[in-house]
Chains A and B, each alone.
Chain A
């Protein structure tokens, strides 16, 4: 069983839709990262959170420590949000990655 599991694997949306990507993790994960990877490989770290909620622009990340669950929300989605979103659990000094969610937003 993977220590970090993401869903869905693929997601398509129309521009303007509200999007949610989910991530569940196992014991031993002390913090959760959300990463964005565009075609070509470049990765951007969006959030790191160990409790509560963080917001940056149209992106919101939440984490429920008791449930061991985190969500990434995108409000008013736009085609430029099309990318692979990866959650990663921080375990000691290493990151354990989910399999990623491929998001495509159509105009």
Chain B
């Protein structure tokens, strides 16, 4: 089974621009979560989608948005980029197991640099 894929892997943007990152979950996984990792703040939860609906959102400004398509692929968008948005953006897909536990698999991440 293919793992979680993220595109692009590396991206350089200028302040004020917008960016769209893509995540393809493992086949059969309907939940996709997005995380931001920076040296200063560590890993932080952005949002989670399940069956095309946003189920939960972290404490990020409205410039950060996302969506999920019917095939479970997800995109996140950051508008009006700021220098502080430079980070590794990770997505993870999850599968709920019997008994309520779940397995979560992370993608390789997209490293975004804002100049």
Contact = CB atoms under 8 A, between A and B. Distances in A.
Interface of A: 31, 33, 35, 41-45, 48, 50, 86, 88, 92-100
A48 B105 CA distance: 12
Nearest to A2: B42
Contact of A88 (B43, B55, B111): B43
Contacts of A43: 90, 92, 106, 109
A95 B105 CA distance: 13
Given A93-B55, A95-B33, A45 B44 contact: no
A75 B104 CA distance: 24
Given A42-B106, A45-B106, 18 more contacts: A41-B88, A41-B108, A41-B109, A43-B92, A43-B106, A44-B106, A45-B92, A45-B103, A48-B103, A93-B48, A94-B48, A94-B56, A95-B35, A95-B43, A96-B45, A97-B43, A97-B44, A99-B42
Given A41-B108, A42-B108, A42-B109, A97 B101 contact: no
Contacts of A93: 48, 55-56
User: How large, as a class, is the contact surface on chain B?
Assistant: 20 to 34
A44 B4 CA distance: 11
Nearest to B88: A41
A82 to B, nearest CB: 19
B109 to A, nearest CB: 5
A87 B41 CA distance: 15
17 contacts: A31-B101, A33-B104, A35-B106, A41-B37, A41-B88, A42-B106, A42-B108, A42-B109, A43-B90, A45-B106, A48-B104, A88-B43, A92-B56, A93-B48, A96-B45, A97-B42, A97-B45
Nearest to B111: A41
A48 B111 contact: no
Interface in B1-57: 33, 35, 37, 42-45, 48, 55-56
A106 B109 CA distance: 28
